[in-house]
Amino acid sequence: MEELAPGWLTTEFLTQCLHNEDGYPNVEVTQFSVFRAAPIEENRASCPLRVKIKYKDNKTSDHLQHLSLIIKSELKEGSVKEFVDSFECCESVFYQHFLPKTVPLLETSVFAKSFFSPKFSIVALEDLKENGFVMANKYKGLDFEHCRLFMSAIATLHAVSYAVIKEDPKFIESLGKEKLYTNDSPIQCAYKLMILSGMR
């Protein structure tokens, strides 16, 4: 059987993820199991894992509770890894630095809750499957209603991004230079090919 859990994914790592969240100040993760969160053949830009956690509210408690997280780790090798590495942990910056600034501005969340990660390049998210959400098939695409919902959510995120930058103009500078939409970007050709192939 394939070993899915990376060496850094331990009960201590998961306990630290929870300790930094409201409602989990004294929890102790006792055990966990790891499953693929997406088919390996989909060639995603990360290694998404579904981690089923059992934890206690504190060390003296005998009552076990359950929580499921999606843990996204870096690819270990391959050309896709080189492509993703050029973004310099943009996704981690997005979840750990940008999204917290948007929460006070939104009446309804349009994204999964992110958890603290002791390892900056690793993204820890709530498992939306627990709330009835289903991952769409990337090859079949979305129906019109789900496309409409996506465009509404992305428009909301775009608007709140403007509000964040207006309130804190220097924040955008802290994110670094544009890494994708520039003609001199080393990954621009690969990105154009990806877009064109997706439009067929």
Q: Higher-confidence residue: 91 or 128? A: 128
**HSE-up (13 A, CA, CB side) for residue 140:** 7
* 123 contacts 85 by C-beta, under 8 angstroms: no
What are the tens digits of pLDDT across the range 129-147? 999 998 888 778 889 999 9
What are the tens digits of pLDDT across the range 139-190? 788 899 999 999 999 999 889 988 988 888 887 776 666 656 666 665 666 6
* 114 contacts 124 by C-beta, under 8 angstroms: yes
Residues 6+ apart with CB under 8 A from 23: none
CA 148 – CA 19 distance, rounded (Å): 37
Q: Establish if 190 belongs to a structural domain.
A: yes
Comparing C-alpha atoms, which of 75, 125, 76 is closest to residue 96?
A: 125
Whether 16 shows a pLDDT value over 60: the answer reads yes
Q: Establish if 174 belongs to a structural domain.
A: yes
- Report the pLDDT value the prediction gives residue 1, as an integer from 0 to 100: 36
Q: Which of 33-47, 76-90, 157-171, 177-191 has the highest mean pLDDT?
A: 157-171
**Residue 45 confidence class, pLDDT cut points 50, 70, 90:** low
Report the domain count for the chain. 1
- Residue 28 belongs to domain spanning: 11-135+168-199
Q: Establish if 158 belongs to a structural domain.
A: no
Give the least confident one: 19-28, 48-57, 128-137, 176-185: 176-185
Q: Establish if 157 belongs to a structural domain.
A: no
- Report the pLDDT value the prediction gives residue 31, as an integer from 0 to 100: 93
- Report the pLDDT value the prediction gives residue 109, as an integer from 0 to 100: 79
Q: Establish if 61 belongs to a structural domain.
A: yes
Q: Among residues of the chain, what percentage have pLDDT more than 70?
A: 74
Q: Establish if 42 belongs to a structural domain.
A: yes
- Report the pLDDT value the prediction gives residue 32, as an integer from 0 to 100: 95
CA 49 – CA 69 distance, rounded (Å): 8
Whether 126 shows a pLDDT value over 80: the answer reads yes
Q: Higher-confidence residue: 175 or 87? A: 175
- Token code pair at residue 3: 């070993």
CA 113 – CA 118 distance, rounded (Å): 16
pTM of the model: 0.76
Q: Establish if 18 belongs to a structural domain.
A: yes
Q: Establish if 78 belongs to a structural domain.
A: yes
N-to-C CA span, the chain: 37
